[in-house]
């Protein structure tokens, strides 16, 4: 029995079961071609004995070895003389068939490895994108990227190493069986030596597993740190913290460098041990076979030739087991992330028709309370109504609960108490996908994807015409984008990196406006715009009032003067509601904040409210 560490054996069994579920009938087919290839290679080597006999260098007749005797019987049965020429032809035919089966096995192996990696990447992404927003916002983007790239590729390495182990075992079994028939004593001696070598290097396998776990964590940390620093490179440069960034990355790289060196050196150490042992074994067999075991020199030479070919496989087998210690931890990482994502899956109702499938939506927050992950109250008894076609502005200081309120409207957050009503129907009973498809949304950070201008505006709604795309861009004050080389086919760089913050925000706003949404949700939508452009965009948004319901979060109180309703939050509670002018006239919280931002209260505003 091949000795190896229990954790690796358990991991390999789990990997094989998972691969079986993912690849189905293709996995047994790979195993069948592997076994067939092993048998053909063993038969090809064994054919050297009949060739020796036909050339007069071995025994014949009743004293012939079992392989030569079988070939003689085969030739006699089909009426072919036992001559060197015909034996050589049979050997060449077996060589050709062996090469063909080997290529077929290699084809299946590489195809299935790529398919298995792709299966995990798609499976993990599907689980992540189907999980609840509360789960996703807790994850570091670097950890997710690391899992889907480096860990998935390392899983492919584990699949490859496992396949190599199965292949090596198949070849060893086939050729050891043939060798045992030809020279059982020599075969037993070599098998004993191989078992001793595996036992002697067992601790290296255990050490490889610990290195693998540490390397998985180190790679994930490096990707997360590098992603954060690259994303915040402007801040790093602006605060002259290049040294701190270099130290952080240097520490992570140094740890990976050390772990990679130790694991790679251990692999070479195992290789050196096995290669020395194989050389010593060959010398001993050549001497001890004829002199001590009484085995014919031709048989000894053939068995030696077989084991010379087998020893690299034995060495590779031990190295594969050792390498699994480095790659299997990635399988554990992927399974843990997948399990967490599936446990946090966003429950989705069957597709339902909304009560008002077209036109502006109505929205009611009915005593809504939302709690955070630590049990803290983010919203408490929030109660107000957004009537169809209205423009409602939500204002308040940072941390007042504005974004949490928006997340409730998007069905990203479930209320702990109370409910959100859409068109007189509880939002909890409506398909989230059906509801969200009718929403135009622009968050605090504008999101653009690498692709064309058109693809960014029509995101998820391919039915929108080019004319509607251009109209939405003009409404959003993004006239500049229509003058880009290529027009709507102009390529927007990754995350819109070639554009200014205001330009990105205007294109993202065009996406929210396009396609006649029922509800337009704007979370600080004009925060990156200059005053002139902000006025243009505000006018475009107001022009939509009546045809679309608008729910806007803003900290610029001057921009809410035209709102039908202003909702002011403090500490997660609604402290005031009403038109802006009325709230200013009442002299309450909103009026105080207005004075802090804009100075004295404009008398004309109060007059308009009275």
What pLDDT was estimated at residue 551?
94
Write out the two tokens for 73: 């019987």
What order do you get walking across the sheet with 549-553 strand by strand?
Answer: 439-442, 519-523, 549-553, 391-396, 565-570, 573-578
The CATH number covering residue 434 comes to 3.40.50.300
Q: pLDDT > 90: what percent of the chain?
A: 18
* Same-domain pairing of 292 and 403: no
* pLDDT tens-place string over residues 139-175: 888 788 888 888 899 899 889 888 888 887 777 777 7
Give the other-Cβ count within 10 Å of 416's Cβ.
15
All residues at 6 or more sequence positions from 193 whose CB lies less than 8 Å from its CB, including other chains: 277, 281
* Same-domain pairing of 308 and 173: yes
* Same-domain pairing of 72 and 144: yes
Please state, in angstroms and rounded to a whole number, the distance separating the CA atoms of residues 180 and 161.
27
Domain boundary among 480, 499, 516: 516
The CATH number covering residue 67 comes to 1.20.1560.10
Please state, in angstroms and rounded to a whole number, the distance separating the CA atoms of residues 380 and 408.
13
Residue 603 is assigned to a structural domain of this protein: no
> What are the DSSP E strand ranges found in 431-489?
439-442, 451-452
* Same-domain pairing of 531 and 548: yes
pLDDT surpassing 50 at residue 470: yes
Domain boundary among 472, 501, 516: 516
What average pLDDT does the segment 82-108 reach?
84
Residue 431 is assigned to a structural domain of this protein: yes
Closest alpha carbon to 368 in 399, 431, 411: 411
Give the other-Cβ count within 10 Å of 147's Cβ.
26
**Beta strands 519-523 and 439-442, pairing class:** parallel
* pLDDT tens-place string over residues 272-314: 776 666 666 666 666 665 555 555 655 666 666 666 666 666 6
Give the other-Cβ count within 10 Å of 539's Cβ.
12
Q: Which residues does residue 421 pair with via DSSP β-bridges, in sequence order?
A: 364, 426
Judged on CB neighbours under 10 Å (0-12, 13-18, 19+), 394 is: buried
* pLDDT tens-place string over residues 170-179: 777 777 777 6
Q: How many domains does the chain have?
A: 3
Residue 606 is assigned to a structural domain of this protein: no
* Same-domain pairing of 67 and 113: yes
* Same-domain pairing of 55 and 146: yes
Residues across the chain: 610
Q: Which residues does residue 123 pair with via DSSP β-bridges, in sequence order?
A: none
Q: Which residues does residue 569 pair with via DSSP β-bridges, in sequence order?
A: 396, 574
Look up residue 47 and give its DSSP letter: T
Please state, in angstroms and rounded to a whole number, the distance separating the CA atoms of residues 247 and 447.
31
**Beta strands 573-578 and 565-570, pairing class:** antiparallel
What pLDDT was estimated at residue 2?
35
Judged on CB neighbours under 10 Å (0-12, 13-18, 19+), 543 is: exposed
pLDDT band at 391 (very low <50, low <70, confident <90, very high): very high
Taking CA atoms, 468 is separated from 458, 488, 511, 514, in Å, by 9, 12, 10, 7
pLDDT band at 499 (very low <50, low <70, confident <90, very high): confident
What pLDDT was estimated at residue 281?
67
pLDDT band at 227 (very low <50, low <70, confident <90, very high): confident
Please state, in angstroms and rounded to a whole number, the distance separating the CA atoms of residues 20 and 16.
6
What average pLDDT does the segment 484-491 reach?
86
Higher pLDDT, 302 or 73: 73
What average pLDDT does the segment 227-239 reach?
68
* Same-domain pairing of 478 and 521: no
Residue 367 is assigned to a structural domain of this protein: yes
SS (H, E, C) 364-395: EEEEEEEECCCCCEEEEEEEEEECCCCEEEEE
What average pLDDT does the segment 202-230 reach?
73
Q: Which residue has the tokens 């020429």?
A: 85
Residue 498 is assigned to a structural domain of this protein: yes
Taking CA atoms, 317 is separated from 43, 307, 591, in Å, by 22, 14, 77
Residue 567 is assigned to a structural domain of this protein: yes
**Beta strands 565-570 and 417-422, pairing class:** unpaired
Give the other-Cβ count within 10 Å of 84's Cβ.
14
Q: Which residues does residue 551 pair with via DSSP β-bridges, in sequence order?
A: 392, 521
pLDDT band at 231 (very low <50, low <70, confident <90, very high): low
Q: List the single range of 209-218, 349-358, 512-521 with lowest mean pLDDT.
A: 349-358
pLDDT surpassing 80 at residue 364: yes
Phi and psi (nearest 5°) for 371? -115, 150
Give the other-Cβ count within 10 Å of 336's Cβ.
11
What pLDDT was estimated at residue 275?
65
Residue 305 is assigned to a structural domain of this protein: yes
**Beta strands 377-386 and 363-371, pairing class:** antiparallel
Give the other-Cβ count within 10 Å of 40's Cβ.
19
Domain boundary among 491, 516, 541: 516
- Crossing angle (nearest 10°) for helices 242-292 and 202-231: 160
Write out the two tokens for 470: 């251009």
Write out the two tokens for 118: 């792709």
What average pLDDT does the segment 31-45 reach?
80
What pLDDT was estimated at residue 405?
94
Q: What is the mean pLDDT of the chain?
A: 79
- Crossing angle (nearest 10°) for helices 6-23 and 26-46: 110
* Same-domain pairing of 110 and 38: yes
* Same-domain pairing of 522 and 504: no
All residues at 6 or more sequence positions from 464 whose CB lies less than 8 Å from its CB, including other chains: 457, 458, 514, 515
What pLDDT was estimated at residue 114?
92
Q: Which residue has the tokens 């255990």?
A: 206
* pLDDT tens-place string over residues 401-436: 998 999 999 988 889 999 999 998 999 888 888 888
All residues at 6 or more sequence positions from 302 whose CB lies less than 8 Å from its CB, including other chains: 45, 46, 48, 49, 52, 182
pLDDT band at 3 (very low <50, low <70, confident <90, very high): very low
SS3 457: helix
Q: What angle do CA 63, 69, 70 make, to 5 degrees?
A: 160
Residue 9 is assigned to a structural domain of this protein: no
Cβ contact 447:502 at 8 Å: no
Cβ contact 409:440 at 8 Å: no
The separation between the first and the last C-alpha atoms of the chain, rounded to the nearest angstrom, is 93
State how far Cα 512 lies from the chain centre: 29
pLDDT band at 1 (very low <50, low <70, confident <90, very high): very low
* Same-domain pairing of 470 and 326: no
Domain residue limits at 482: 445-516
Write out the two tokens for 250: 């240097």
pLDDT band at 495 (very low <50, low <70, confident <90, very high): low
pLDDT surpassing 80 at residue 197: no
* Same-domain pairing of 534 and 452: no
* Same-domain pairing of 303 and 377: no
* pLDDT tens-place string over residues 512-569: 888 888 999 988 877 666 777 677 777 778 888 888 999 998 877 777 888 899 999 9
């Amino acid at each position: 029995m091949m000795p190896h560490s229990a954790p690796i054996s358990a991991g390999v069994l789990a990997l094989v079961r998972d691969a079986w579920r993912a690849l189905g009938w293709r996995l047994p087919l790979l195993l069948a071609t592997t076994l067939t290839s092993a048998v053909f290679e063993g038969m090809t080597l064994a054919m050297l004995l009949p060739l020796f006999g036909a050339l007069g260098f071995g025994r014949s007749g009743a004293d012939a070895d079992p392989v030569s005797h079988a070939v003689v019987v085969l030739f006699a049965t089909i009426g072919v003389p036992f001559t060197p020429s015909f034996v050589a032809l049979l050997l060449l035919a077996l060589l050709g068939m062996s090469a063909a089966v080997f290529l077929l096995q290699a084809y299946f192996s590489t195809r299935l490895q790529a398919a298995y990696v792709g299966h995990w990447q798609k499976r993990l992404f599907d689980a992540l994108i189907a999980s609840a927003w509360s789960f996703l916002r807790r994850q570091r983007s670097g950890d997710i990227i690391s899992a889907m790239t480096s860990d998935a590729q390392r899983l492919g390495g584990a699949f490859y190493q496992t396949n190599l182990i199965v292949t090596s075992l198949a070849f060893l079994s086939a050729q050891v069986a043939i060798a045992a028939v030809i020279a059982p004593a020599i075969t037993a001696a070599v098998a004993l030596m191989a078992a001793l070598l595996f036992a002697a290097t067992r601790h290296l396998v255990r050490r490889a597993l610990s290195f693998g776990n540490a390397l998985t964590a180190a790679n994930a940390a490096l990707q997360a740190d590098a992603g954060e620093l690259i994303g915040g490179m402007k801040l790093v440069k602006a605060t002259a913290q290049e040294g701190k960034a270099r130290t952080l990355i240097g520490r992570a790289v140094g740890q990976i460098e050390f772990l990679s060196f130790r694991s790679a050196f251990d692999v070479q150490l195992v290789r050196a041990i096995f290669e020395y042992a194989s050389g010593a074994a060959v010398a001993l067999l050549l001497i001890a076979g004829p002199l001590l075991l009484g085995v014919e020199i031709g048989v000894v030479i053939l068995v030696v030739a077989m084991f010379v070919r087998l020893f690299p496989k034995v060495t590779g087998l031990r190295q594969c087991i050792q390498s699994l210690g480095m790659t299997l931890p990635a399988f554990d990482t992927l399974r843990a992330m997948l399990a967490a994502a599936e446990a946090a899956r966003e429950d989705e109702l069957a597709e339902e028709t909304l009560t008002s499938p077209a036109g502006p939506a109505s929205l009611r927050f009915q005593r809504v309370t939302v709690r955070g992950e630590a049990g803290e109250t983010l919203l408490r008894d929030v109660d107000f109504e957004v009537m169809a076609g209205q423009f409602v502005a939500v204002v308040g200081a940072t941390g007042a609960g504005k974004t949490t309120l928006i997340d409730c409207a998007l069905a990203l957050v479930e209320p702990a108490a109370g409910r959100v009503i859409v068109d007189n129907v509880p939002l909890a009973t409506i398909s989230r996908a059906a509801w969200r498809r009718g929403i135009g949304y622009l968050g605090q950070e504008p999101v653009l994807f690498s692709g064309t201008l058109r693809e960014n505006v029509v995101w998820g709604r391919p039915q929108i015409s080019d004319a509607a795309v251009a109209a939405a861009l003009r409404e959003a004050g993004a006239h500049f984008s229509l003058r880009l080389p290529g027009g709507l086919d102009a390529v927007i760089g990754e995350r819109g990196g070639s554009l200014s913050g205001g330009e990105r925000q205007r294109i993202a706003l065009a996406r929210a406006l396009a396609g006649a949404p029922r509800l337009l949700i704007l979370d600080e939508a004009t925060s990156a715009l200059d005053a002139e452009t902000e006025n243009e965009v505000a006018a475009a948004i107001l022009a939509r009032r009546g045809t679309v319901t608008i729910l806007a979060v803003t900290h610029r109180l001057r921009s809410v003067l035209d709102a039908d309703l202003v909702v002011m939050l403090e500490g997660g509670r609604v402290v005031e509601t009403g038109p802006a002018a009325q709230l200013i006239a009442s002299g309450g919280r909103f009026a105080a904040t207005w004075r802090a931002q804009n100075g004295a209260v404009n008398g004309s505003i109060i007059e308009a409210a009275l």
